Structure 1
Amino acid sequence: MVFLRGAVTVLCFVIFIFYSSLPTYASSSVFFRDDFNSINDFDWIISDMQNEVEIIHNSSNEGLLRLSSPIDHEIPFLQLKKDLGLLDNFYIEFRYRMTGPGFGSGLILSDKQLEPYSREMSWDDFIFVIWPNGTGGYSIVSRPCPSAEVTCVHDEYRQQVSPTQDSQWHVIKFNYLEGVYTVYIDNVLFFESSHSDLKVKYIYFGSPHRTITNTAWPIHELDYIHVSSEEDSIVQKFKMVLIPGLGSSWNLDAIMDGSTDSDWEVPEFVDLYDSLIKSIENNGYVRDKDLYIFGYDWRKSIDNLADDLQDYIDAMNLNTGEKIYLVGHSMGGLVARSYVQKYGLDNVEKIVTLGSPHQGVLDAYPVWEGAALWGDVWWEKAALELAVHLNRKPGESRVKALRSQAPGIKDLLPVYEFLVSNGLKKPLSQLSQKNEYLAELNNILNGADSVMKTFMGIGIQTRSALNVTQRTGLDKLLDRWEDGKPLANNPFIFADGDGTVLKTSAAGPFSSTLEINKSHIGLAYEENSIESILEEFGLDRSKAEVVEPDKRDNFLAVILRSPGRLLVCDESGETCNENFGLYFPTQKLFLLPGYGGQKISAKVIEDGFGKYDLHVGLVYEEEDWSVLKGNLEASNQIDGYIIEGRNDSTDIIPDEDTENHYLNAAASELGLFSPSWDRGGYFTKARDKNIAKNLRLKYIRLLRTVLRQEYKKAVKKNNPDYLLAVNAVWNTNDYLARVLLKGQGKNKESSVAAYIKRTKNLSQLVNTRLAKGNNLLTGMIYEFASKKMANISSLDTKEFDLRADLLMSVEYLLYTTLDNI
């Protein structure tokens, strides 16, 4: 394009204002933005002949785009895929630098698609172009005439930006409003057109044209480019901290041994926030540069987590005078607001909370007072369940274990009247367990309302209140339901919300709110919600990208505690450990999300000698754990077990080589507390395969009477370890009965029905008597019996003999409970 040589290039500045915080767009006016932290072929058509399109990062890891070329006929270029013709008016801003003499366009604004490298440039190819003059300077060349030049004739109008070399960065703005173009350089008006019918549709950076002869090309650099539909849409971009919900952050060692550790992070299998993170990254943010994910120990109180967030902000150098954004989902939103209410607003520009229970959440009540499961997704349940199960001390109730491991759950209890007894709401002042922290936080906002925006999920019936009655004697022994036990059938009262958090609770005491018809987890990943979040932070909502998260709601856990290696495989034995589920070799933990009840094998492989505990847990609507005891005492010993799901519980069968190890380990453990417990030899005879089945069954039932006496001794000595050892032998005894009776049906259905009726009546009697009891171990025996009763319902209804025998086992345990009240 010979006629443009000597013209001055101005238009090659693409938008990138250098603040310590980068610019961004507000609200729905955003059309496009790129901060060039990476090469983005999602929005650009890229022509890079010899790897001359580069992303260059400075010492702060902020990126810029550089185009360069050796002496050649061509220079690389990028074409924006988005069509500006869709906008009635537009505002383009970019930060640009040209270095060195040469020729070739820096930036082209055109109304047509240009065919790459097919010919030289003509006037019809552009509306504006930035063009170098060969000495290091550049001009803006315009087809629209300036308003002040009455003698201008359509076509070629040039205005120099610099006649000589200028290697400085410049912020250039091209605005189009009601048919008039204006150009600003470093916020100074440079050009204003008369009314023009020419409308820019396409943006090119670099040159899609070729020259007749080999030509030296200058280096063109873009720091950023932003396009919006409103002039005032460009606002400051701030670094952002994402704070996920309860159970999203993991530190396996801390979870499994109950220790304190600051090294918490969101693992790959927690993918609920991938959509939000990806959508923010699509807007030019970069992880650990201006986008941070705060992994935290959700077991702690909210107040302590506010301190941890302050420490994190300091550690990440986010407290240097710059403002930051905080966005928190569920419990994460409470952490964010608690932080600003405790440490002030000086460094926080805005907080967005997604379904955060600012008035508490009813689901926290059954967790805090009943040690129920938490969460809808398997990893939420797993995080808390592993902490409670593995760190529960012998003789400690599950409720006490939960409260000691996760005191932060209390800070999620509702701060409104939510318990209903005999049709009347119970005043909060009368409750033993109250959420005083959140109530105080809501009473004194300390200016937090000025930076808060709360997203509320709506359109789903959500648990709002709970009908309760007086707790039973067993509940008292097990520390459950001190403020009221939920009624057995349909105890909940519902109101509008996201299925977990009420609309009113998600709004909280704050004035700026947004309703979105989404579920609690949907607020964190579904498209409409992500778009609204981006918009709230002034980002481009069109760059929302949805990644469907894992929503499986149950899991199987296999955990080895002690020496040895763990190998968990599918039934074929060919797919194992990390190829089968999630496997953590250091912690000897295997997790299988979405377990469907299929047979799997678990092997304990000798890697050192000693006793082991193999924990097998199926967690769905309730938790069901079995702990198998074994002893690695021979080189190359392998103990194998087959695990198979039955409704909400599991059958665990040792293989033939392992059976003796399994039985011996249980007997040996009880022998530590009562060396002569099997003086009649019943356990030895019950497992002797050379004895007739009917005699073996006789010894199994005689053994139950022996074990009743061992329970009495354990309760009298108040020794929970002793009691757990009796439980283990009782389980192995029931296992022997199951092996002998499986598939047999001599008993009639009517006989089984009579057993069930008798057992239920006995259970009611025990419940009544337990009101006078005061020993936790007695309650543990009854709880053991209740779980066995629940598991019987999962047996094949035609296995009458087996069901009758297990009902007999439950009956013995219920009488044992009565013995110890």
Structure 2
Amino acid sequence: MNYLKSDLIKYLILTIFVLSGFFMYTNPVQAIYATTTSPALSGYNFQNISGDYIADSSFWFDGEHFRFSFTPTRDFYTVFYHYGDRIAHYPYYFTYLTASYFFQSGGGGGHGAYFVENLDDLNNYQAGNSIFFLWEAGQRYDSYIIDGDIASSGLTEDNLYLNWHFKDNPDDKLKLDYSYVKFASRYFDSINNTHPKNYINYDYVPEDYKLDPVIIVPGILGSWDLGGGWQLDPILNTYDNLWEALKLAGYEEGVNLFAFTYNWRLSNVYSAMEFKNKIDEVKAVCDCDKVDIVAHSMGGLVARAYVEMGDYENDIDQLIFLSTPHRGSVVSYLTWEGGEVGFKKNEQLQQRIFKVEAEFNGYGSVYDYVRELPMKSVEEVLPVFNYLKDKSLDDNWQIRDYSHNYPHNLFLELLNNPSQLDKLNNIDITNIIANSGEATVNYLKVISKDFIDGQWQYGYPDGFYSAFGDHGIEYGPGDGTVPYTSNSKFYNFSDVIINSSHNQVVTDAQKVVIKELTGNEPTVEVRKNIFSKYLLIRIFSPADFVVVAPDGKRVGKDFTNNSSVNEIDGAFYSGFESGPEFVVIPDPLEGKYNVDLQGTGTGEYKLSVSLIDDNQAIDSDYSGFVTPGGVDSYNINLLANSISSLTPQINTLEELLEEIDTIYQKGWLNHFGSKNALVSQLKNGFKNNQQFDQLNKFLANMLEKKRINQQAYGIITSALINIKNNL
């Protein structure tokens, strides 16, 4: 009852914000420039017209296509006809530009060229169709110049006549004579024999063609503050390829390319207010009224919250969603209700990062961290559809209705209210969905089970903590994180489905994103930083550490200079000055890694190393005691799909005797008499091979009788080899 009362209060607060006018928006006016509806052409004359009928014309090159920009002084139509095997100018209605090109060698020739507003304007027509395009007086157009005899299905690369003749020859002079355009015009005008000539202006960029600034909005784990300010996903590098592709498409960082980095642990409502400040900042930089947004995952909900629930200023032109959970994600139930994340590679990495954050901030568990912080963003991604199943008396699993006994997501319930969604109508929206068929949590089969810390209030996924079985999870279509039912066919959005996964879609959709933003589809893609596995090293204080890879490169704290060091490509180090300390190495080299620790205080520490890939997550932990300035060293061997146990670097007999005491205290060596016998043999020395072999046989016998565990056995035998080699 108290929980329902709390929900009601939060809902009333949000509703008051909406009704008070705090969340407002306005409607932009959009013009329609072209139509394919056959017009009544009575009273029109089909005649050559002079340049006086087109103002401010220019021929230019956008880096990929040749363009014809102009402003009509009169309304006119251009006319095409679908012949069945091709599309060309309508019979007798010649609507083309005459292009004469002169190569440096002195050769020349002429050719007719058409112009269209968009490269897909001639697609999807049937044989026998007449196609009319209206060009309105006073409107500014940046049309594309194309060759004649277009394929029956629409434009192909071969139709970009000027492109394939001149793209690789920018020094060739191209002369275009727009006086030879035959238009359908309301006005007759005789033409004389002198026509102005216009060369391609390779330096020209029309004002209207300038790229709107674009802001990338990441999701959970997509921003990190390393003490020097927030950065865009330096751990998984999710956005690197898209960022570079946008730069190749003409965007410039800090000029018209920006990222909104934010504390994703907080409420999306708060983040939306911060997002408004970012948009205002970008508008001031570009001296413009509108921006474009590319929002990934939960970042899409932040953008929607700004438009639907914030002080919206009608300043978003295009909004592109990438795998946004518009109706929520079932995985978030695991985190909000149980402090768990899931079993996939990125989820396993996220779980371990949450754990080191929880420890650093003084929380007893990830669940306590998520609920007591509280991590409101996780609650605000809970699904708003039916996804829990209960076991019936006949042992079948029946779906539970969302209106009954669910953790309600008041944020999404309000955001998805039709009156709120209507505020998106005046934004050009593209909803990109990743649906690779990858197993995605769609349903949870839950049972009632009591937990001391209050976990799983609305149901525990049956067998979730079991080593085997389905863990109470039913998988289905989606991108691995967001189920297909969450973001497909949502409101009136235009869906674009891409064969990809939740994070990978940011790279895989780059061509679609750039075409939506600029009108031009890139011919190349940026595909770097696509990783298959991660090595995660965490320290639970009081100590700092540095990792040395098999090739000698380091990442972590440089104890000599008291500074951060990162020599490994793609690696991430969280830093040592504030916050939890950890290292992530993508696609790590195989071989031996050294981890050196330096105490920052007195007490017990825990070092944890994890290898995470698509199939498994292997952990190796080791605890020790440290004093300020004290140094401990560890080794771990990385193979293709596994890691060895963390092994202390022991080089002297005195260090080994201390370690044996620690091992005994941990219970790894559980037989007091065997421990004393081992210590006695070690003190007697093992300078010759016979003594060395006797020690190893004694240890093997202890292992066989289960008086010592495998990890302790590995530590001691490795130490014996090091000590013997140092004698």
Question: Structure 1-normalised TM-score?
Answer: 0.53
2:242 corresponds to: 276
1:613 corresponds to: 605
2:522 corresponds to: 542
Q: Does 1:125 pair with 2:108?
A: yes
Q: Does 1:466 pair with 2:448?
A: no
1:413 corresponds to: 382
Using the TM superposition, give the Cα deviation of residue 391 of structure 1 relative to its aligned residue in structure 2, in angstroms: 2.9
Alignment of 1:16-27 (within 5 A): none
Structure 2 letter corresponding to 1:531:
K
Give the counterpart of 1:514 among 485, 488, 496.
496
1:602 corresponds to: 595
Alignment of 1:283-322 (within 5 A): 283-317=249-283, 322=289
Q: SS in structure 2 opposite 1:317?
A: helix
- Please, which moves more after superposition, 439-448 or 400-409? 400-409
Using the TM superposition, give the Cα deviation of residue 632 of structure 1 relative to its aligned residue in structure 2, in angstroms: 3.1
Residues 710-733 of structure 1 deviation map (CA, whole Å, 9 limit, x = unaligned): xxxxxxxxxxxxxxxxxxxxxxxx
Cα 1:495/1:176, change in 2 over 3 Å:
closer
Cα 1:661/1:313, change in 2 over 3 Å:
farther
Structure 2 letter corresponding to 1:408:
S
Name which one, 1 or 2, has greater alpha-carbon Rg: 1
Contact 2:332 2:379 in 1 (8 A): yes
Give the counterpart of 1:372 among 340, 350, 360.
340
1:68 corresponds to: none
1:551 corresponds to: 531
CA separation in 1, counterparts of 2:387 and 2:550?
47
Contact 1:456 1:514 in 2 (8 A): yes
1:632 corresponds to: 627
Cα 1:329/1:384, change in 2 over 3 Å:
same
Q: Does 1:642 pair with 2:635?
A: yes
Give the counterpart of 1:430 among 404, 416, 419.
404
Q: SS in structure 2 opposite 1:551?
A: coil
Residues 599-630 of structure 1 deviation map (CA, whole Å, 9 limit, x = unaligned): 43222247x77446343242635685746232
Contact 2:634 2:648 in 1 (8 A): yes
1:655 corresponds to: 649
2:507 corresponds to: 525
Q: SS in structure 2 opposite 1:431?
A: coil
Using the TM superposition, give the Cα deviation of residue 460 of structure 1 relative to its aligned residue in structure 2, in angstroms: 0.9
Q: SS in structure 1 opposite 2:522?
A: helix
Structure 2 letter corresponding to 1:655:
Q
Contact 1:373 1:622 in 2 (8 A): no
1:492 corresponds to: 473
Alignment of 1:53-92 (within 5 A): none
Structure 2 residue runs without a partner (length 5+): 1-54, 70-85, 115-139, 150-160, 175-199, 392-396, 464-468, 557-565, 682-695, 718-727
Contact 1:462 1:501 in 2 (8 A): no
CA separation in 2, counterparts of 1:175 and 1:465?
49
1:65 corresponds to: none
CA separation in 1, counterparts of 2:162 and 2:258?
44
Using the TM superposition, give the Cα deviation of residue 415 of structure 1 relative to its aligned residue in structure 2, in angstroms: 0.7
Give the counterpart of 1:481 among 456, 460, 470.
456
Cα 1:356/1:654, change in 2 over 3 Å:
same
Using the TM superposition, give the Cα deviation of residue 348 of structure 1 relative to its aligned residue in structure 2, in angstroms: 0.9
Residues 738-768 of structure 1 deviation map (CA, whole Å, 9 limit, x = unaligned): 99866756459xxx9xxxxxxxxxxxxxxxx
Contact 1:455 1:513 in 2 (8 A): yes
1:567 corresponds to: 546
Contact 2:233 2:239 in 1 (8 A): no
CA separation in 2, counterparts of 1:198 and 1:509?
41
Q: Does 1:354 pair with 2:333?
A: no
Alignment of 1:446-465 (within 5 A): 446-451=422-427, 452-460=429-437, 462-463=439-440, 465=442
Cα 1:658/1:367, change in 2 over 3 Å:
farther
Give the counterpart of 2:224 among 250, 258, 263.
250
- Please, which moves more after superposition, 384-393 or 404-413? 384-393
1:781 corresponds to: none
Using the TM superposition, give the Cα deviation of residue 691 of structure 1 relative to its aligned residue in structure 2, in angstroms: 5.2
CA separation in 2, counterparts of 1:570 and 1:559?
17
Contact 1:15 1:172 in 2 (8 A): no
2:32 corresponds to: none
Contact 1:250 1:383 in 2 (8 A): no
Q: Percent identity?
A: 18
Using the TM superposition, give the Cα deviation of residue 424 of structure 1 relative to its aligned residue in structure 2, in angstroms: 1.7
Residues 163-203 of structure 1 deviation map (CA, whole Å, 9 limit, x = unaligned): xxxxxxx9998956869xxxxxxxxxxxxxxxxx9999326
Contact 1:302 1:334 in 2 (8 A): yes
CA separation in 2, counterparts of 1:394 and 1:176?
65
1:328 corresponds to: 295
Q: SS in structure 1 opposite 2:538?
A: strand
CA separation in 2, counterparts of 1:375 and 1:318?
44
Contact 2:339 2:366 in 1 (8 A): yes
Cα 1:499/1:110, change in 2 over 3 Å:
farther
Structure 1 letter corresponding to 2:583:
F
CA separation in 1, counterparts of 2:364 and 2:379?
19
Contact 1:458 1:517 in 2 (8 A): yes
Q: SS in structure 2 opposite 1:628?
A: strand
Q: SS in structure 2 opposite 1:542?
A: coil
CA separation in 1, counterparts of 2:368 and 2:316?
38
Residues 763-786 of structure 1 deviation map (CA, whole Å, 9 limit, x = unaligned): xxxxxxxxxxxxxxxxxxxxxxxx
CA separation in 2, counterparts of 1:572 and 1:283?
36
CA separation in 2, counterparts of 1:592 and 1:610?
29
Residue-pair matches, total: 524
CA separation in 2, counterparts of 1:110 and 1:537?
32
Using the TM superposition, give the Cα deviation of residue 368 of structure 1 relative to its aligned residue in structure 2, in angstroms: 2.0
Structure 1 residue runs without a partner (length 5+): 1-9, 17-23, 36-85, 94-107, 116-121, 129-141, 145-169, 180-196, 210-219, 227-233, 254-260, 671-677, 694-737, 753-787, 803-821
CA separation in 2, counterparts of 1:617 and 1:338?
38
CA separation in 2, counterparts of 1:567 and 1:632?
17
CA separation in 2, counterparts of 1:572 and 1:513?
46
CA separation in 1, counterparts of 2:164 and 2:358?
66
1:714 corresponds to: none
- Please, which moves more after superposition, 432-441 or 596-605? 596-605
